[in-house]
């Protein structure tokens, strides 16, 4: 009987043999269709950061797209609640939340009020890991077909692999027919769930057995450039920053050994992104992606930028440097893809799931009206006003994907005029400084409702069986939070909707900047055209003008 140490040694040998074999493999002959489509997602990357730092980028990271590929200067999301799950559900379905059903990262069931997580599924569990009640384990809640689903239905040999530091960042791009792998803060491993398989392939076990996350204990995130190169960014340690807002940062600085605290710390720096790309390399070798005449899809969502921007803002030096760190990581990843597959055999798309608002304190420093709107305080004001007008009771039960969730049972029991109650909710919301608009369910669903600012974006974010009763829209530069620090996203304003759409693939993409406004829903139809398959059934975008 082999000892545990011997088994690990065998797995490690298998893994490194796969990687070595992959690196030694001569690039395959050019194909009329891409051998591999790579979707790269930088979680929380606004388009402004790509262009603002362009003069500091290397020749072959972001500049592979900006100089050799097609990039769209005016690319946006069209839905109003711009959060991670909604964005990741849109990319490869070509559909907004009103079709995907993924209205937010979480929401309340309108009938029961029970919390629902976007990729939660109690029928499935993580392989080899504890699974909490609301952990993401399957695409059950995704109601739209994805490009990977179309591709695999057309050719069962096609493989669809999605990787992320977040469960939703992997599960939603994978669709129903792909396979998702998520980084586990418990162990520093990547794992999938029982929805996809009963046990990990050998290459996954080998990767995890090497404990690659552990090498980042005491790793130092240092600025890549001299201090003066960051003069256009906000200096470190601002009053509105969350803790740790200065460089250099030491990963697990106070820890004596690797563990969950280290693995969580990796999200706030470039190291989890590096680890995710290493796992992507292992997936390419282990699954032999792009090596036959059936096109494969690899989605890699890098989570670090979102955590950095939440904590310190997209205007910070930390965020600025992280863009440059990503630039280097992409350049190395592209070199490896060139070597393994050949430059004429793969197509890459880079986008983001949402942008990021400037921290309200930063906006105020620029003379812009900005602030923080507390959800809990607003809910208390709502209930006080409703109590005064309609009698005792908890009329507003809470927030659900930035909509007010009303006590529908109480409304029915008291036989209250629903329209009058909803009008009072809207009156209270619009009296608050942080809201610019509010729409009732009836206004959203009635096609004869007169056109109004933000109504179209709200409609695209609204799914009747899941969304709340009165959808609120934040005023520009106002943040929905009870926190006095950090910043976020989630509005229909350009700083949250304007994201990169960058494509590279010499056989399918002609270089150049495109000025026309486009939307993220256009990505899936564009890729479908390149792959020679139909667009996903719920797609509402159109192919982008990228051809040679």
pLDDT attached to residue 547: 86
- Rounded to an integer, what distance in angstroms lies between the CA atom of residue 313 and that of residue 310? 6
47 contacts 75 by C-beta, under 8 angstroms: yes
Q: Is 175 left (phi over 0), alpha (psi -120 to 50) or beta?
A: left
Structural domain spans, the chain: 4-359+493-531, 371-480
pLDDT attached to residue 31: 59
DSSP element (H, E) containing 436: strand 435-440
Note the pTM of the prediction, 2 decimals: 0.93
Radius of gyration, CA atoms only, the chain: 24
- Could you say which residues of the chain have pLDDT below 50? 1-24
- Rounded to an integer, what distance in angstroms lies between the CA atom of residue 192 and that of residue 179? 8
pLDDT attached to residue 103: 98
pLDDT attached to residue 548: 73
Strand partners, 163: 181, 300
pLDDT attached to residue 481: 86
pLDDT attached to residue 14: 44
- Rounded to an integer, what distance in angstroms lies between the CA atom of residue 191 and that of residue 204? 8
223 contacts 319 by C-beta, under 8 angstroms: no
- Rounded to an integer, what distance in angstroms lies between the CA atom of residue 364 and that of residue 39? 36
Active site amino acids: 84
- Rounded to an integer, what distance in angstroms lies between the CA atom of residue 283 and that of residue 296? 12
- Rounded to an integer, what distance in angstroms lies between the CA atom of residue 524 and that of residue 93? 6
Q: Span 371-480: which CATH code?
A: 3.30.1360.150
Cα distances (angstroms) measured from residue 251 to each of 28, 257, 267, 427, 479: 40, 11, 10, 48, 29
- Rounded to an integer, what distance in angstroms lies between the CA atom of residue 436 and that of residue 509? 41
43 contacts 169 by C-beta, under 8 angstroms: yes
pLDDT attached to residue 11: 44
Q: Give me the DSSP letters along 460-487.
A: HT--TTT--SEEEEEPTTEEE-S-SS--
Q: Work out the widest C-alpha separation in the chain, in whole angstroms.
A: 76
**Phi, psi (rounded to 5 degrees) for 356:** -155, 135
pLDDT digits (tens, 9 = 90+) for 150-162: 999 999 999 999 9
- Residue with the two structure tokens 């794992």: 191
pLDDT attached to residue 189: 98
Q: Is 486 left (phi over 0), alpha (psi -120 to 50) or beta?
A: left
Q: Does the domain made of 4-359+493-531 have the CATH classification 3.90.1150.10? A: no
Going by C-alpha positions, the residue among 94, 96, 142 that lies closest to residue 118 is 142
């Amino acid at each position: 009987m082999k000892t545990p140490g011997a088994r690990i040694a065998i797995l490690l040998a298998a893994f490194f043999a796969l990687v070595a074999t992959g690196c030694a493999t001569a690039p395959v002959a050019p194909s009329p269709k891409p051998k591999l489509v790579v979707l790269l997602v930088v979680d929380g990357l606004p388009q402004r950061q790509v262009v603002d730092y362009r003069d500091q980028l290397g020749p072959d990271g972001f500049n592979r797209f900006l100089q050799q590929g097609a990039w769209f200067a005016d690319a946006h999301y069209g839905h109003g609640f711009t959060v991670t799950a909604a964005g990741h559900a849109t990319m490869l379905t070509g559909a907004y939340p009103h079709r995907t059903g993924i209205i937010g990262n979480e929401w309340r069931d309108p009938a029961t009020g029970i919390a629902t997580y976007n990729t939660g599924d109690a029928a499935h569990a993580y392989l080899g890991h504890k699974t909490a009640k609301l952990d993401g384990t399957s695409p059950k809640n995704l109601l739209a077909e994805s490009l990977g689903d179309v591709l695999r239905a057309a050719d069962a040999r096609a493989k669809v692999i999605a990787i992320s530091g977040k469960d939703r960042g992997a599960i939603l791009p994978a669709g129903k027919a792909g396979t998702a792998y998520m980084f586990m803060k418990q162990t520093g491993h990547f794992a999938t769930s029982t929805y996809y398989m009963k046990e990990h392939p050998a290459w996954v076990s080998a990767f995890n057995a090497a404990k690659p996350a552990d090498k980042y204990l005491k790793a130092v995130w240092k600025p890549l450039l001299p201090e003066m190169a960051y003069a256009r960014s906000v200096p470190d340690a601002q009053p509105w920053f969350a803790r740790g807002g200065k460089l250099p940062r030491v990963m697990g600085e106070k820890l004596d050994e690797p563990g969950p605290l280290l693995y969580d710390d990796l999200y706030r720096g470039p190291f989890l992104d590096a680890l995710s790309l290493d796992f992507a390399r292992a997936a390419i070798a282990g699954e032999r992606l792009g090596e036959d005449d059936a096109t494969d899809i690899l989605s890699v969502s890098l989570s670090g930028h979102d955590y950095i921007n939440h904590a310190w803002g997209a205007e910070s030096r930390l965020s600025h440097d992280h863009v440059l760190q990503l630039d280097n990581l992409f350049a190395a990843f592209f070199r490896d893809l060139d070597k393994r597959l050949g430059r004429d055999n793969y197509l890459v798309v880079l986008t983001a799931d949402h942008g990021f608002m400037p921290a309200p304190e930063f906006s105020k420093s620029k003379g812009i009206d900005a602030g923080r709107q507390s959800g809990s305080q607003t809910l208390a004001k709502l209930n006080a006003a409703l109590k005064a007008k309609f009698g005792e009771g908890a009329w507003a039960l809470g927030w659900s994907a930035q909509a007010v969730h009303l006590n529908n049972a109480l409304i029915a029991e008291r036989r209250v005029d629903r329209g009058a109650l909803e009008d009072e909710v809207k009156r209270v919301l619009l009296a608050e400084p942080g809201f610019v608009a509010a729409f009732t369910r009836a206004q959203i669903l009635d096609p004869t409702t007169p056109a109004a600012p933000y109504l179209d974006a709200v409609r695209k974010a609204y799914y009747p069986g899941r969304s709340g009763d009165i959808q609120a829209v934040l005023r520009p530069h106002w943040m929905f939070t009870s926190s006095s620090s950090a910043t976020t996203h989630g509005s229909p304003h350009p700083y949250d909707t304007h994201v990169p759409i960058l494509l590279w693939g010499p056989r399918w993409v002609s270089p150049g900047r495109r000025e026309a406004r486009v939307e993220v829903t256009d990505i899936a139809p564009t890729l479908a055209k390149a792959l020679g398959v139909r667009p996903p059934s719920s797609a509402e975008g159109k192919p982008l003008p990228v051809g040679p």
